[in-house]
């Protein structure tokens, strides 16, 4: 991530920085919830959980978590529900990854040295294809869009937490929770 202009201390950057911070915190909550699900579904085996999480990506999370539920004899409606939540998380996680790893253009369109009007206060994320040198995508991100992503990520994290609690509760009932 390259942030060249304006400085991060610029008051006009604060809504963007705060939005990015909320996205990162909510993403971390969701990732931790996925880890808790895996931990309780893997009989609280830390080594198995760590190995499982290393191999989790946005493209395979829904299938891998669904397998954990299938292996524990969960009802089909529960497996479908966790798959749905994980698919939504994967979509949001891909957006988060682009925010972190793509090239940032801050306030594009503003005259050099001048602050933009309110409509131009945005980030444009660009990813350049390394082989062709052509932009593979441009995305506009405003503070409002960042807040929306953070709120959606929080909702998914809440839903994943519920599955984590259910997994821990199931471990208690099965006598496998190491209390």
CA–CA separation, 108 vs 27, rounded Å? 27
Residue whose entry in the numeric block shows the structure tokens 């969701």: 30
Structure confidence by residue, pLDDT tens digits, 32-91: 999 999 998 888 899 999 999 999 998 999 999 988 888 766 778 888 888 999 999 999
pLDDT in tens, 3-12: 445 667 777 7
Contact 175, 121 (CB under 8 A): no
Question: Strands 103-106, 123-128: parallel, antiparallel or unpaired by DSSP?
Answer: antiparallel
In the numeric block, the tokens 């996205």 are attached to: 23
Helix residue ranges, H only, 56-142: 61-71, 76-101
Nearest to 27 by CA among 155, 141, 131, 118: 155
Q: How far apart are the first and last CA of the chain?
A: 43
- The rounded distance, in Å, linking the Cα atoms of 42 and 137 is 39
The residues with which 124 forms a beta bridge, in sequence order, are: 105, 140
Domain ranges of the chain: 15-172
Write the pLDDT tens digit of every residue in 18-34.
Answer: 999 999 999 999 999 99
The answer to whether the pTM exceeds 0.85 is no
């Amino acid at each position: 991530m390259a942030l060249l202009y304006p400085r991060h201390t610029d008051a006009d950057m604060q809504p963007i920085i705060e939005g990015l911070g909320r996205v990162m915190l909510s993403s971390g909550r969701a990732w931790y919830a996925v880890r808790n699900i895996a931990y309780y579904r893997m009989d609280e085996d830390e080594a198995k959980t760590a190995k499982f999480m290393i191999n989790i990506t946005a493209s395979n999370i829904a299938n891998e978590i669904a397998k954990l539920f299938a292996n524990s004899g969960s009802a089909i409606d529960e497996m479908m529900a966790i798959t749905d939540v994980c698919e939504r998380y994967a979509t949001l996680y891909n957006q988060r990854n682009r925010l972190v790893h793509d090239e940032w253009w801050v306030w594009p369109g503003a005259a050099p040295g001048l602050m933009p009007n309110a409509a131009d206060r945005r980030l444009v994320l660009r990813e350049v294809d390394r082989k062709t040198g052509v932009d593979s995508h441009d995305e506009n991100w405003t503070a409002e869009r960042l807040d929306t992503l953070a709120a959606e990520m929080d909702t998914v994290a809440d839903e994943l937490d519920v599955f984590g609690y259910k997994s821990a509760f199931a471990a208690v009932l099965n006598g496998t929770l190491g209390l």
